[in-house]
Chain A
Amino acid sequence: METYHYPSFPADASHVHIALFKNVSNAAELRSRIVRASLLEGSEGDLEREAVNFAFIDARLICSRVHLQTAIYQAVLAHAQGALRTKTVHSEILWTLNPSNNISEAIRRYGVSDTTAFLIVVRISTANDANVLANMQAVVSGELSRFSLEGITDWASVKKYYKLNSEPALKIQGITLVQERKIIDEIVTSTVAMKSVMT
């Protein structure tokens, strides 16, 4: 797990924790647990919601570390300005990652699905959030791995969701796969960064 400290963010969101889990075996359970937590009432509901109070992101749709960091940054910015479009800063990350404004589509595509095997877990919190990693591992059954998206990113799906298949930017003669992926990453990251002013 990696922790980033942003001094300019408000105190309740100054620390960003990012972990990559491979070979996740309980994706379906996790998904239904998140859905259930959102429906529970009373103190039991609060406890359960806190247990899954993370952003669960399907790693296949993330192009690079900067792509993810950009989405997190914009989500925290919206949180700091009281301008969240979704209920929490964690769900805001998923919304920011999706090119459209449809929240349920964002969660369906970028959130955990029944078949998710590579999962990025993000928690945005205060400086004294001691057991983040243990709390992540309590809900995710998978191999905690060094953060690297090499071989994980599903470029075909990224291209499809961002409608890049007919763009002139990718129609360059003799372009290599590595170059093409850099261009895709740049367009996607930039689109995430400017989503708040897209329309």
Chain B
Amino acid sequence: MTAHTSSSSSLGLISSATAISQGAEAKVYYASLHPAPSPASTTETVDVLIKHRFHKGYRHPSLDNSLTKSRVAGEARALIRCLRCGVHVPGIRMVDAAEGVLALEWIDGKSVRFLLGGGAEGEEEEAADSEDSDVAEAAAQEDDTDPLSEYGATQDELMAMVGAEIAKMHRGDVVHGDLTTSNMMLRHPRSEKGLQLVLIDFGLAYTSTLVEDKAVDLYVLERAFASTHPASEPLFASVLRAYQAGMGREWTAISKRLDDVRLRGRKRSMVG
């Protein structure tokens, strides 16, 4: 740990934040970034999602620092590139690369995975060992209302939004690297920016102009659909239809390459 860690502003912020989930790479929190002013002149709050790439004790400290810093920077750069290309992604609210902390605009909405009936993220593990969540889940299904109806969109419209958003991103030469239905959210129509499909988690994103990289990005999503949603073929077909419309002339090459990738898998053969 570095000397200033104990008094770090970002860690102070995290200590007052609400933990949401944890992965191997980072821990995610909800917080309000800016305090209310005095006198209370505004009720506007800046709700953020904080992504803390915590210190990894198994790595050499200097390697750990440089990896963390470059990943925070990489994610922020991919997001700003997407924003400029008109892709709907969370806005950036704070970056503390030294501490590995990134604060992003809080999205009021649900993941596409949840909206397609695939459960919320992480639920599969929790449901297995917790009676409570089994009950809660059963109750939710008992309800039997399509969660999408609240958003005023059909499944087909949702898939078209997904395809259109990925096309915008690929036209801007950003490759997401981890396209899954958990990494897409539908912003609730009641929010200030209105109903939007928002792509999230650019931790593995990079820029590339290669047809190969874009085709693999789509292939990863196709596999994610197949493994999380029953009868995924017509869903993914709608995604591709909207993607094709968004990509224009670039589509032919990507489509051909996607067929190749389907035959060989995501890793390219190194033979020859």
Contacts and interface: CB of A to CB of B under 8 A. Distances in A.
Contacts of A80: 4, 7-9
Contacts, number: 121
A172 B41 contact: no
A167 B39 CA distance: 39
Contacts of A81: 4, 98
B86 A169 contact: yes
B93 interface: yes
Interface string B113-156: 00000000000000000000000000000000000000000000
Given A187-B83, A190-B92, A69 B172 contact: no
Contacts of B36: 4
B35 A5 contact: yes
A182 interface: yes
A39 interface: no
A18 B72 CA distance: 30
Contact of A147 (B41, B92, B171): B41
Interface in A56-111: 65-66, 69-70, 73-74, 76-77, 80-83
B166 interface: no
Contacts of A116: none
Interface stretch (B73-81, B176-184, B236-244): B73-81
Interface size, B (range) = 35 or more
A34 to B, nearest CB: 26
A127 to B, nearest CB: 12
Given A169-B86, A190-B80, A194-B80, A8 B16 contact: yes
A167 B86 contact: yes
B41 A2 contact: yes
B265 interface: no
B94 A70 contact: yes
A168 B86 contact: yes
Contacts of B103: 193
Given A4-B36, A8-B10, A168-B168, 11 more contacts: A3-B38, A7-B35, A74-B95, A80-B7, A81-B4, A83-B98, A146-B41, A167-B84, A186-B91, A193-B94, A197-B97
Interface of B: 4, 7-13, 15-16, 33-39, 41-42, 44, 46, 69, 72-73, 76-77, 79-80, 83-86, 91-98, 103, 168, 171-172, 192-193
Interface of A: 2-10, 18, 65-66, 69-70, 73-74, 76-77, 80-83, 146-147, 164, 167-172, 182-183, 186-187, 189-191, 193-194, 196-198
In the A-B complex, the 5 residue pairs with the closest CB atoms: A8-B12, A197-B73, A169-B86, A2-B37, A194-B76
